[in-house]
Amino acid sequence: MPAARVEDVAACCHELGSCGLQHRDQGPDARLEAYFDAAVDLPVLLGGLQEGLRCAGLGHLSVDVSQVVEEDWEAGWRRHFGPVQVTPRLWVRPPWAALDPAPGRIAVTIEPRMAFGTGGHESTQLCLQALEKHLRPGASCLDLGTGSGVLAIAAALLGAGRVLALDVDAVAVASARDSVRLNGLEGGVVTVREGSLAQAGAEHFDLVLANIHSQVLRPLLGAIAARLRPAGVAVLSGLLAAEEAAFRGCMEAAALRPGETLERGGWICLAGTRGA
């Protein structure tokens, strides 16, 4: 499969109950190994997988099935997830990977088995980079489509005064709540709520982060702009570089003035400020 799609396919396998995933190859053509319990109903699983991939716009992927004797895949799988350095001071790490404390270093701890957002995906990394740049101490922040909670937690650790994390997916909401606890932030500035923008009540934000597929994001741009405080910034990702011009047009139409573009591995992140 295209390497850029690995995390989407992984999320799909995870939803179908995979007990472990291993990304084998590097380079543009990737292979993902997903482990399931031996008692799984294989035709149902394969049907669910193809349907999930189709819904995610990933089309048909070739799937090989084999039975493996239980081995220490957990150790191998854990080896795959190490700490990821996103910016000179910001890291995302799994709970078992120790990081030496360094002055000013901020590490977000995420359990990789959780919902989308382990820090490995370019669009997540771009959002973290933009978050670090745009977040002012004490700012109020909305993380729309929080997934594992990675952006919301990073915002809190970077000094936000208030963070609202929303996701329409109940599994993601549970994961984000677990992540908040894992990072020792329970009872703190982060609130996780199931739902979309309507669940933000009447709140307005200095910063809105939304790393969601562009087809989902486009119709939400006007509502996102309306949630920004004056001089607020929307950090938008989940977009491919090829979509940049069209997406900038959509932002302008939604009264969001597009600013700089960040790019990694074919993915982009656009920051927009509220127009007059």
Does 214 contact ligand SAH by CB under 6 A?
no
Part in contact with ligand SAH (CB under 6 A); list of ranges 100-108, 144-152, 226-234, 248-256:
144-152
Which residue from 128, 87, 123, 134 is spatially nearest to 273, judged by alpha carbons?
134
Part in contact with ligand SAH (CB under 6 A); list of ranges 65-73, 85-93, 132-140, 147-155:
147-155
- For residues 35, 41, 45, 46, the Cα torsion angle rounded to the nearest 10 degrees is 100
Q: Which is closer to ligand SAH, CB of 45 or CB of 115?
A: 115
Binding residues among 37-96 for ligand SAH as defined by CB under 6 A: none
**194: three-class secondary structure by DSSP:** strand
Contact (CB, 8 A) for 158 and 129: no
Least Å distance between CB 67 and ligand SAH? 31
- Residue 266 structure tokens: 């074919």
Interface pick for ligand SAH out of 13, 84, 86, 127 (rule CB under 6 A): 127
Least Å distance between CB 153 and ligand SAH? 10
Does 150 contact ligand SAH by CB under 6 A?
yes
Does 212 contact ligand SAH by CB under 6 A?
yes
Write down the H helix ranges in 81-220: 122-134, 150-157, 170-182, 214-217
Say what angle helices 150-157 and 122-134 make with each other, to 10 degrees.
30
Interface pick for ligand SAH out of 169, 244, 252, 263 (rule CB under 6 A): 169
Does 192 contact ligand SAH by CB under 6 A?
no
Contact (CB, 8 A) for 118 and 150: yes
Q: 8-11 long-range contacts, Cβ below 8 Å, gap at least 24? A: 8/56, 8/58, 8/116, 9/53, 9/56, 9/58, 9/61, 10/34, 11/115, 11/116
Write down the H helix ranges in the chain: 6-15, 42-55, 73-80, 122-134, 150-157, 170-182, 214-217, 221-226, 244-253
Does 174 contact ligand SAH by CB under 6 A?
no
Least Å distance between CB 187 and ligand SAH? 22
Does 200 contact ligand SAH by CB under 6 A?
no
Interface pick for ligand SAH out of 168, 223, 240, 255 (rule CB under 6 A): 168
Does 167 contact ligand SAH by CB under 6 A?
yes
The rounded radius of gyration (Å) of the Cα atoms in the chain is 19
Least Å distance between CB 71 and ligand SAH? 30
Does 175 contact ligand SAH by CB under 6 A?
no
Binding-site ranges for ligand SAH (CB under 6 A): 115-117, 121, 124, 127, 144-147, 150-151, 166-169, 172, 196, 211-212, 216
